[in-house]
Structure 1
Amino acid sequence: MTDSPATRPILVPVDFSPHSEAALAFAAELADYRRGALLILHVVHDPFSMPGYYGRALKKKQLHRIEDGAAEMFDEFVAAVRARHPDLATLQTAETLLVKGLPSTRILEVAERQAAPQIVMGSKGLTGLRHLLIGSVAERVVHRAKTPVTIVKSPRTRTP
């Protein structure tokens, strides 16, 4: 019996941003339609690359390990997204995975290991100098992935 793309999970890397939530909701709709599965991934990255990223969770409980803060934030993010989208059945039962490393590298490794038929991820869509200085995880994944990658942006809210 061969493994079909519908039985393998769509990989959804998240960074707790509104763009990640939009990507997760999109992927859940797609998985519901395909009767497939989701794997929600967060890569705990080097704190020196983004100082303070996990600071909220670390300060709240005086945790000493960055992984503990990341795991708490990951759990809270997934629970909040599930609560906001109770109609997305696949989202409610999606598996989660927390790994350490460089985000783009680890995303690609997990996609290959899981034989993910697709990667769906959010992107801020930075341009110009900020993009050159910061780089883009999504861009690196798109260029190196062996599987289709869908980039989702959160809807912009207008300020009066």
Structure 2
Amino acid sequence: MTEQKQGDTREHRSVRGPILVPVDFSAHSQAALLLASDLADGLGGTLLVLHVVHDPLNMPGYYARMARKKTLARMEDIAGEMLDEFMTGLKKQHPERRALQKPELLLVKGIPVTRILQVAEKQKAGMLVMGSKGVTGLRHLLLGSVAEQVAGLAKMPVTIVKDHSKN
């Protein structure tokens, strides 16, 4: 039995299921992944990093910067390379973050909101941590953000992170 000091109400809890972090390779995704790695390290959890490959009709040119180099490469292959590069860069920048050094990576195709929610349910995620660009105006009123839609529909806690390092 462990000894607890009087007045010390802290209790070490582990999160149930992995912490799911959908990424789009933006600064907001990076900020979300760093927060999620802190949570995973503190709560004894694991990270599941997800990238959803969009239908090209939804975001034409999204993978274009790498497609020019490999004109015949499939979109999934390009997205996989981008995910690997994104993670490799973060691991090198933050070697002290244990959960970030050994995350599970998952690449799926589909509509982001739908696929994020499906993966969260299938993987029994304990929580979701995702970045948001904070789009405003008419575009936001008509479409809403992926993060806002996921937060409204998810059956588990969702934390939305904005990158304020450049402000």
TM-score by length of 2: 0.88
Deviation at 1:61, TM superposition (A): 2.2
- Pick aligned residue for 1:96 from 81, 96, 105: 105
4+ runs deviating over 4 angstroms = none
Q: How many residues align?
A: 155
Identical pairs, percent: 60
- Pick aligned residue for 2:118 from 82, 99, 109: 109
Cα deviations across residues 49-68 of structure 1 (Å, max 9, x unaligned)? 11110011211222331111
Match of 2:23 in 1: 14
Greater CA drift, 6-15 or 98-107: 6-15
Q: Flag the structure with higher helix content.
A: 1
Cα distance in 2, alignment partners of residues 144 and 125 from structure 1: 18
Deviation at 1:6, TM superposition (A): 2.5
5+ residue gaps in structure 1? none
Cα distance in 2, alignment partners of residues 135 and 75 from structure 1: 29
Do the aligned partners of 1:39 and 1:96 also contact (CA within 8 Å) in 2?
Answer: yes
TM-score by length of 1: 0.91
Cα distance in 2, alignment partners of residues 63 and 110 from structure 1: 29
Do the aligned partners of 1:40 and 1:97 also contact (CA within 8 Å) in 2?
Answer: yes
Higher-Rg member (1/2) = 2
Report the aligned-residue RMSD. Answer: 1.5
